[in-house]
Structure 1
Amino acid sequence: MRWWFKARRGHLLLPLALAVFGSALYAVQDTTVLLPAVTGSGRVALSLFVPVPLLAFLMAALESRLPAAEVSGVRSMTRLDNALVITVMTAALLCSALVACVQESSTAATGGRNAVFLTGLMLLARAGAGQAAVMVPVGWLVTVAVIGFRGNLPRSWTIIALPADSMFAAAASLVVFAIGLAAQIRSSRKTA
């Protein structure tokens, strides 16, 4: 297991990823930015974009592997990879909750939930696109910014723009995350 973790560069990438995530979440607070939008007001919470570096670090860790050796090996690395993803997302949720408590801000509380949802999307896309799947969450973010609002209200399909107390967003995030983990199990034994 130690060799697997070193091969994934987890000892370097993941602490750095969580530090970047936590500090960015703390820094943006309730800041909104004006982005071009087809529908809605165009004002988007900057905290929506905070999970992107975390996802990039996570994808780098998952893709730093030796596919041929892992496919031909007796022990499947899928369970370890899924445990790694679950651990990182649990840490992101805890980090988000900590920042929300310190700032007394509901915006920070959505950071972990959004990271879970976007990670699920990334893992789903990784099954077919490989490392390029890291761009799928970015595409989702751009789509939400451009057409995800009706006036100042987010549409329900956006998930990440919904308020922190939205049970629908929390449930959808968990479902997409679980489907992403299942897709990773199915596709992890491929060499390409």
Structure 2
Amino acid sequence: MFLPFCFLAVLWRDTVLDLPSFLAGTLPAPVIALLPILLCAALALCLDSRLPAAETTATRRVAWMDTALAGATVLAACATALLAWKLSGADAGLNLGRDTAFLVGLMLLVRSVAGSRAVLAPVAWGFAVLFLGSAPDGHIYFWTVLLRPSTDPIAAAAAVLACAGGLAALLVRPATTSGI
């Protein structure tokens, strides 16, 4: 999944779409801001492809391996973000790493409670940002994180907290069966 992610990040680094918004006519959204949703879905699939019986009798704690996988995913996305930023100089390239850290953390936090249904959390957040994330005057609300500039300290803090909380939740409560 990493190579297609890199390819799409470089390909879409400058692409901006005017999407409809409930609060402000249209919202110019960089396509690269939605790219972390694909990475979250792939990570969720990896984490949910498990054998509970084998994991409970395993010699090594699988929770550490799952946490390492999630951390490596975020680090790889940050490296890809730096590459996209170096190639284009676009602010959206730098945001890719922060946005991935935030959405992965959000998904892992929801996963500790909702199980495999947590894959929908980044998608729901993306839709909330696109449809409700801007004021009529075009101002992007602080809670959106995804569309904020790369220099925004609130968005950076939210990404770090969400990622750290998600990794901690994955370590403490590694998996919940969803009942589906």
Q: Provide structure 1 residue ranges, at least 5 long, that are not aligned to the other structure.
A: 1-16
Q: TM-score, normalised by structure 2?
A: 0.90
What does residue 161 of structure 2 align with?
175
Q: How does 1:28-43 map to 2 (within 5 A)?
A: 28-40=12-24, 41-43=26-28
What does residue 2 of structure 2 align with?
18
Distance 1:190 1:162, change over 3 A: closer
Q: TM-score, normalised by structure 1?
A: 0.85
What does residue 33 of structure 2 align with?
48
2:156 aligned partner, one-letter code: A
- The structure with the largest helix share of the pair is 1
Q: Does residue 124 of structure 2 align to residue 139 of structure 1?
A: yes
TM-aligned CA deviation for residue 29 of structure 1: 2.1
Q: Provide structure 2 residue ranges, at least 5 long, that are not aligned to the other structure.
A: none
Paired residue secondary structure (1:154):
coil
1:18 aligned partner, one-letter code: F
Distance 1:66 1:170, change over 3 A: same
Q: What CA distance in whole angstroms lies between the structure 2 residues aligned with 1:81 and 1:133?
A: 15
Q: Deviations over 1:160-183 (max 9, x none)?
A: 111011122111101011111121
What does residue 152 of structure 1 align with?
138
Q: Deviations over 1:129-157 (max 9, x none)?
A: 22221110000000000010123221001
Q: Tell me, yes or no, if the aligned pair for 2:133 and 2:141 is still in contact at 8 Å.
A: yes
Q: Does residue 52 of structure 2 align to residue 67 of structure 1?
A: yes
Aligned residue-pair number? 176
Identical aligned residues as a percent: 32
